[in-house]
Chains A and B, each alone.
Chain A
Amino acid sequence: MSERLIPAWSLTAEAAGSIGIPAEWPERVTRGWALDGATGEGVDVCILDSGVDGDHPLVGGLESAVAVHLEGDEVVVGPDLLGDVCGHGTACAGIVRSLAPACRLHSVRVLGEGNTGSADLILGGLRHAIEQGFEVVNLSLSTTKRRFAELLHELADAAYFRGTVLVASAHNLPVESYPWRFSSVISVGSHEGTDSFEWFANPHPPVEFFARGIDIDVAWAGGSTLRCTGNSFAAPHVAGLSALVISKHPGLTPFQLKSILYLTASNTGGPT
């Protein structure tokens, strides 16, 4: 997990010579350069969702699992005693594992307490995940509550600057929702293909990428598998791809990672 960096607010003439950033970028960024041989090893991926069944064979174990709940008005993070209250978090974890088999998976459960206060729990869970320094956080969820938008925006920017990649599923409802609309996250919608390594860069944002999101056999509660469709399954595909790229090229910033995903998308760089 990355260390917090001290922000620099200006650049002196003396310092300019000391901030060289190692540039080992090829002339052309290809999928081979980005992904070949990558397993996700050493990368921490967090599933912010309904909890994860770590014992599911398609999930293959969890490094940590916490649950966020409300005590009065206070958001508290504690051990997760319930596991997956729906099955969806397990599905997302299984998708990430299928792409990045050696990554370390973490669960932050923000659902299960009902609708009241749910936006507080999502905010609290996201804040916790960013503080942990996870490289990738999957957010297959959104909130329509306007008063949380500004706080979510601040958190998304904080994650962006400290090196945590937030991957958020886009909405296809005619409503304003967050955090997928923010440019500091990677937003993902679905395409109709069946190849988990096919993804497209969208020339017409705010949805930035399209990944596999239809007819996917996913892990579910109770050790079962289900066939599922939805943008919430497209996001963990990009989270898994992100883990692969970061494991091969440690230290990438979210800006650099998004650029690589753009340059190697099926409609730009393609699978070369």
Chain B
Amino acid sequence: MTERTSYREAVAAGMLPSEESHRALLQSIVDVARAIFDAKAASIFLLDADADELVFEAISGEGEGDLIGMRIPSGTGIAGWVLVTGQPIVIDDLSRDPRHARETAASTGYVPKSLMAVPLVNGETSLGVLQVLDRSTDRAFSLGEIDLLILFANQASIGLDLLQTSRRARAVADLGEGGPAVVARIAALLEETEDETAGLRLLEALEAVLARLAS
């Protein structure tokens, strides 16, 4: 991250909505995905690129509330395969895969019979994986179901991208005593001040002085 970007992200951090509102967006996506497919559960994994692990970011249904923050390796298992290959997959009769049954039971206490998984991609960056577990079998499965899941995945990708941008911006603001942190604090104070006009006039005067220094 360049210093110039840091300052801009610092300003953004001072004005961004809270982490909670992004979480609510992701929760809404998994809730709706679960409802559309009449499924027992839906979840979003976010890739932690530094640790190279997948993190449970949002869950609706079975495991809700207990599993947020749980981590799994990004290179193995079905979610890892979907993340790395970028290919959506639908699997039925999962309980017949002994390794999957053992691993998921150990981590979630719940072994799904079926799974739909689609990669979450923003541009060329892999962000994570959206899964729908135990969809209703009342209607015949078709390729249209995957297309529908992909539409949701696209929405989830946008949500995840916002979340990650927000976290990066917040990390800049939380750097401590550095320049970007000061800028972020000014942005936050400006938002909170009752006399915003006076604050803006002061900053405009400062801008004029800095512009003269820069020229």
Report chain B residues within 8 Å CB of A150.
Answer: none
Known contacts A118-B84, A227-B92; A176/B146 CB under 8 A: no
B49 touching A224 by the CB < 8 A rule? no
The residue from B73, B85, B118, B153 contacting A140, defined by CB atoms under 8 A apart: B85
B99 touching A222 by the CB < 8 A rule? yes
Q: How far is the CA of A87 from the CA of B77 in the complex (A)?
A: 8
Q: How far is the CA of A143 from the CA of B83 in the complex (A)?
A: 10
Contact bitstring B111-153, A, C-beta under 8 A = 1, else 0: 0000000110101111000000000000001110011001001
The residue from B75, B147, B150 contacting A114, defined by CB atoms under 8 A apart: B75
A222 touching B52 by the CB < 8 A rule? no
Known contacts A173-B86, A173-B119, A232-B87; A85/B76 CB under 8 A: yes
A226 touching B94 by the CB < 8 A rule? yes
Known contacts A50-B81, A228-B92; A222/B75 CB under 8 A: no
Would you call A181 an interface residue if the criterion is a C-beta within 8 Å of the partner chain's C-beta atoms? no
Would you call A125 an interface residue if the criterion is a C-beta within 8 Å of the partner chain's C-beta atoms? no
Q: How far is the CA of A144 from the CA of B123 in the complex (A)?
A: 8
Would you call B178 an interface residue if the criterion is a C-beta within 8 Å of the partner chain's C-beta atoms? no
Q: How far is the CA of A178 from the CA of B77 in the complex (A)?
A: 23
B126 touching A140 by the CB < 8 A rule? no
Contact bitstring A101-143, B, C-beta under 8 A = 1, else 0: 0000000000111111010000000000000000000001111
For B73, B87, B99, the residue with the greatest tally of chain A CB atoms inside 10 Å of its CB is: B87
The residue from B81, B90, B94 contacting A229, defined by CB atoms under 8 A apart: B90
Which range holds the interface residue count of chain B?
A: 35 or more
Would you call B164 an interface residue if the criterion is a C-beta within 8 Å of the partner chain's C-beta atoms? no
B97 touching A226 by the CB < 8 A rule? yes
B85 touching A226 by the CB < 8 A rule? no
Would you call A171 an interface residue if the criterion is a C-beta within 8 Å of the partner chain's C-beta atoms? yes
Would you call B98 an interface residue if the criterion is a C-beta within 8 Å of the partner chain's C-beta atoms? yes
Q: How far is the CA of A87 from the CA of B85 in the complex (A)?
A: 14
Among A6-14, A29-37, A213-221, A246-254, the stretch that binds chain B is A213-221
- In the complex, the chain B residue whose C-beta lies closest to that of A116 is B52
Report chain B residues within 8 Å CB of A196.
Answer: none
Report chain A residues within 8 Å CB of B60.
Answer: none
Report chain A residues within 8 Å CB of B14.
Answer: none
Interface residues of A in 142-179 (CB under 8 A from B): 142-146, 169, 171-177
Interface positions of B (Cβ within 8 A of A): 47, 49, 52-53, 73-78, 80-81, 83-94, 96-100, 118-119, 121, 123-126, 141-143, 146-147, 150, 153-154
Interface positions of A (Cβ within 8 A of B): 50, 85-88, 111-116, 118, 140-146, 169, 171-177, 190, 192, 213-215, 220-222, 224-232
Could you jot down 10 A-B contacts, CB within 8 Å?
A86-B80, A87-B78, A88-B78, A114-B80, A115-B75, A213-B143, A226-B91, A229-B143, A232-B87, A232-B89
